[in-house]
Amino acid sequence: MPDSQSRPAQPRNPLHGLTLEAIVTALEAHYGWSELAVRIPVRCFTHEPSIQSSLRFLRKTPWAREKVEGLYLFMLRDAARSARLPR
């Protein structure tokens, strides 16, 4: 009998097992702070951005976290699409 605390497996969820820190770090590495601020205009990306300040804000603000997760999924889809195109 499964434990009531255990979570169901999510094999098709690309965010499963990722921390918010890993997502923000990947986005910053891919886009940079200035491009992140253009794509998601929130203060944690526009004024003295850092991973820690972004994490504090995103953990308290569900709508902004959803936008960040959506941009991360877009980045993954775009990278997969680019990998499939012939060069």
pLDDT in tens, 9-65: 777 877 888 899 999 999 999 999 999 999 999 999 999 999 999 999 999 999 999
For the chain, give every domain's residue range. Answer: 20-82
For 66-81, give the secondary structure using H, E and C.
HHHHHHHHHHHHHHHH
- Is 20:65 a contact under the CB 8 Å cutoff? yes
Contacts with 43 (C-beta within 8 Å, 6 or more apart), sequence order:
57
Which residue has better confidence, 64 or 1? 64
Position 10 scores a pLDDT of 74
φ/ψ of residue 15, rounded to 5? -90, -10
Q: What does the DSSP 8-state code read for residue 11?
A: T
Q: Which fold has domain 20-82?
A: 1.10.720
What pLDDT, on a 0 to 100 scale, did the predictor assign at position 5?
61
